[in-house]
Amino acid sequence: MSRLRFYLLRSIAGIGLFVLLAGQRASGCGPEFPNSFLSNSADELMTLPTLSFSLELDRLLSASPHWPVDGDKTKRLADVELDEVREALVKAGLSVSAIDEAAKKYRREQPPAELPPEFALYAKGANAWREGNTEVALAAWKELLGLPQEQRHYRTVWAAYMVGRTLWDKDANAARASFSLAREAVSQGFADSQELAVASLGWEARTYYQGGDYAKAAKLYFRQYAQGGVSATVSLQMTLQRVFQTDTEKDATADVVSAGSIPEDKAPPPRDGILKELAADGELRGVVTAWFSARGGPMTPWSTREASTQFARWLKIVGATASLDGREADRWCWVAYQNGMWDEADKFAGQAPAHAPASEWVRSMLLLRKGKVEEAIEHLSNAAKYFPEDNAMAGISFVPPWRYNQSEQQPLLSPPVRHLGGVSGVLALSREQYIEALRLFLQAKQWSDAAYVAEYVLSEDELLKFVREECSAVPQAYSRDEWWEPLDMRYLLARRLVRVGRFDEAREFFPEGQIVAFDSYVRDVRTGYDLQQPTRKRAEAFWAAAKVMRTFGMELQGTSLHPDYAMWGGQHEYPQTWRWRAYAGIGPGGASWNPGGAQWRAGVLFGPPADELRRAVEAKVPKNRFHYRHRAAELAWLAAALLPNDDDMTALILNTAGRWIAVRDPQQANLFYKTLTIRCPNTVLGKEAAIRTWLVPADAAPSSSE
């Protein structure tokens, strides 16, 4: 067994338990990190992302932006209601002071007497409704609706809506008439300060859902969504889930008939009949497609296991009911692939437009499954090229699995080009195209993957050449759509060059804010090694350099990834990327899919080549975290070595530098302690250390500058 392979297998064994426990790296404590494609399994790389249901609905509506979620909506509606009250008081002829006084006393359940009668009638009905006296409530609201139009401008919509709310599960037809009346009143100019016309669509849809007429329910829920009712996404999902229940469950049609909700002769058609009704309606067919697209298929943890069975049933129904256009084929190939229906995915991809980015993505994945890497890469490139840069206009937006928000109220989106660039970068790296991989990761804003290539795979000279040719001296502006900072390749290179002592080349790549510390450190280190300088001056220079390194070690020579994780400010850590890569490439596992009856292994397409692993193992990357503290302690040791015994400065340096490393490396700190007590036994620090039998804490040390 080669030395490299033995080393890798030994390292992999050490992380085996972590891999078993981690599985798919779910969110835990700490921030939501960007995805690392190099740490993903082949299964994850070959799985299409889950689409956002709400944004797929927007696509059907040809609406670019998603309806915003108004976090202060309750407060805003209350303000609008109060504005209406003031407006009504103005029309009643009250003075400004009287209006202010009446507005202060306003309560919906007990409106001031100065307001028109419609307010009191609505409040009477609402109070009775809350107490369960629906007869009194309905009588009050109907009395309100019987007023002349000019006397019920502000509460007509409210009353009609509440009549429907009261009757929705008792008299569906009467409730629908009331909901329709509320919307008609809005179209005639009656006030709708609480947006009840939109809400009425959902409640009217609920009457159809209750009666088993799911097609009409879905139609109304979609109208509600189109008019700004974002909560309709959940209602649509529930309705469609009910429609697509498996055959082993009791049919909903039988439920509603046996319960007496509707007469048997007016019962909706059996479930296949409902599916045919959905399939025959182009708008509803699009909603169903959006629903399947957003479920993720069986590879997605939150999807139902029956998704593929339901989709197969849907395809059978649609094939006998409606003709397929290219726009639908573009999504159907996506859903078919998600559900492992490879032949169907290939067929629909062929029916989709040639340059539709979603279909190009599917084509690339199907080709990869067949091992046709070169052709697959071409389609991946096309998919990225045809997606507009503006995510809202991309035609497809997905919720990345590491930032999933199932409520769909606020979808956490990642532009498709980033995902495509991540997969392309992994393929390039697996083919030993290291510079191209780095370029792809940077373009896709996959910072941790780019940092791995820059720190572990490329040599210093290769990285230096790349940065000088392709990384502008002026930092590129990035929109702050994530909490993390973009990777500064110039700064990464600067710190890497410092770690190997190439100071002259490093300086030009440091950001302006770190130049002073860098110059001070380099000047003092060089003075310390200058044998032409007086001994005391050399010692003072080494000590000054040690303190700079102790204070600014992360900034001067920290690694972006392991062991320092400077990308995250040193606050978080995770397993080394090359260990994940080695596990995927050497381990017998990887993807378990079996395309076309042929065995397929992850390492063939995505696993690391031997040259990459050799480079990663041999990379001049520090092994231990806080290595710069050890560097600071080394410089302090050199300073102390140049100073005389029983010198207060010698004692201070040994005691202070030992404390720097005492927590993480007590054995090395013990050397500083012993040296302090042996070389400086007559100093205050030396005596105190001897009494304590350890280094003297800062708060117990004599007053002196460190």
Q: What's the gap between Cα 49 and its chain centre? A: 12
- Tens-place pLDDT, residues 321-349: 667 788 889 999 999 998 889 999 999 99
Residues 561/577, Cβ–Cβ less than 8 Å: yes
Range 54-63 average pLDDT? 82
**End-to-end Cα spacing for the chain:** 52
Q: At 271, is the pLDDT very low, low, confident or very high (cuts 50, 70, 90)?
A: low
Q: What integer pLDDT is reported at residue 20 of this predicted model?
A: 24
Q: What integer pLDDT is reported at residue 105 of this predicted model?
A: 80
Find residue 50's DSSP bridge partners. 399
Question: Residues of the chain with pLDDT > 70: what percent?
Answer: 78
If one counts every other C-beta atom within 10 angstroms of the C-beta of residue 305, the result is 8
Pairwise CA distance, residues 384 & 520, whole Å: 46
Sequence-distant (≥ 6) Cβ neighbours of residue 446 within 8 angstroms: 34, 35, 36, 37, 418, 421, 422, 425
What distances in angstroms separate CA 88 from CA 4, 100, 146, 193, 209, one per listed residue?
Answer: 83, 12, 19, 13, 38
- Tens-place pLDDT, residues 141-199: 999 999 999 999 999 999 999 999 999 999 999 999 999 999 999 999 999 988 999 99
Pairwise CA distance, residues 685 & 702, whole Å: 7
Residues 227/203, Cβ–Cβ less than 8 Å: no
Q: At 578, is the pLDDT very low, low, confident or very high (cuts 50, 70, 90)?
A: confident
Q: At 475, is the pLDDT very low, low, confident or very high (cuts 50, 70, 90)?
A: low
Residue 265 has pLDDT above 60, yes or no: no
**Tokens (6 digits) for 328:** 């639908």
Q: What integer pLDDT is reported at residue 596 of this predicted model?
A: 35
Looking at the chain, how many residues does it have?
Answer: 706
Q: What integer pLDDT is reported at residue 70 of this predicted model?
A: 44
Return left, alpha or beta for 267; rule: phi > 0 is left, psi -120 to 50 is alpha, else beta.
beta
Q: At 75, is the pLDDT very low, low, confident or very high (cuts 50, 70, 90)?
A: low
Range 361-375 average pLDDT? 92
Q: Considering the chain, what is the average pLDDT of its residues? A: 81
Residue 587 has pLDDT above 80, yes or no: no
Q: What integer pLDDT is reported at residue 306 of this predicted model?
A: 72
Residue 247 has pLDDT above 80, yes or no: no
Residue 257 has pLDDT above 60, yes or no: no
If one counts every other C-beta atom within 10 angstroms of the C-beta of residue 475, the result is 13
Pairwise CA distance, residues 276 & 220, whole Å: 18
Helices and strands in the chain: count of H runs, count of E runs: 35, 2
- Tens-place pLDDT, residues 449-464: 999 999 999 999 999 9
Residues 11/577, Cβ–Cβ less than 8 Å: no
Say whether 115 sits in a helix, a strand or coil: coil
Query: Which of 207, 251, 203, 248 shows the shortest CA–CA distance to 229?
Result: 203
Say whether 431 sits in a helix, a strand or coil: coil
**Tokens (6 digits) for 524:** 């003092």
Residue 599 has pLDDT above 50, yes or no: no
Q: What integer pLDDT is reported at residue 48 of this predicted model?
A: 85
Residues 618/4, Cβ–Cβ less than 8 Å: no
Residues 549/632, Cβ–Cβ less than 8 Å: yes
Q: What integer pLDDT is reported at residue 73 of this predicted model?
A: 55
Pairwise CA distance, residues 293 & 143, whole Å: 48
DSSP string, 22-57: HTTT---SS--PPP-GGGS-HHHHTSPPEEPHHHHH
Sequence-distant (≥ 6) Cβ neighbours of residue 214 within 8 angstroms: 208, 239, 240, 242, 243, 252, 268, 274, 278
Sequence-distant (≥ 6) Cβ neighbours of residue 268 within 8 angstroms: 211, 212, 213, 214, 253, 256, 262, 274
DSSP string, 389-412: SSGGGSS--EE-GGG--TT-SS--
Pairwise CA distance, residues 367 & 333, whole Å: 14
- Tens-place pLDDT, residues 604-635: 578 888 899 999 999 999 988 899 999 999 99
More confident call, 649 vs 316: 649
Pairwise CA distance, residues 538 & 300, whole Å: 63
Q: What integer pLDDT is reported at residue 688 of this predicted model?
A: 95
Let me know the angle formed at the C-alpha of 217 by 160 and 336, rounded to the nearest 5 degrees. 150
- Tens-place pLDDT, residues 126-145: 999 999 999 999 999 999 99
Q: What integer pLDDT is reported at residue 503 of this predicted model?
A: 97
Sequence-distant (≥ 6) Cβ neighbours of residue 526 within 8 angstroms: none
Q: Where are the beta strands (DSSP E) in 337-479?
A: 398-399
Range 517-526 average pLDDT? 97
- Tens-place pLDDT, residues 195-234: 999 999 999 999 999 999 999 999 999 999 999 888 899 9
Q: What integer pLDDT is reported at residue 62 of this predicted model?
A: 75
Look-up: residue for tokens 């392991």? 562
Residue 25 has pLDDT above 60, yes or no: no
- Tens-place pLDDT, residues 388-432: 654 444 455 555 443 333 333 344 456 788 889 999 999 999 999
Pairwise CA distance, residues 434 & 444, whole Å: 15
Q: What integer pLDDT is reported at residue 333 of this predicted model?
A: 93
Range 252-258 average pLDDT? 45
| Range in 91-100, 113-122, 455-464, 631-640 the model is least confident about | 91-100
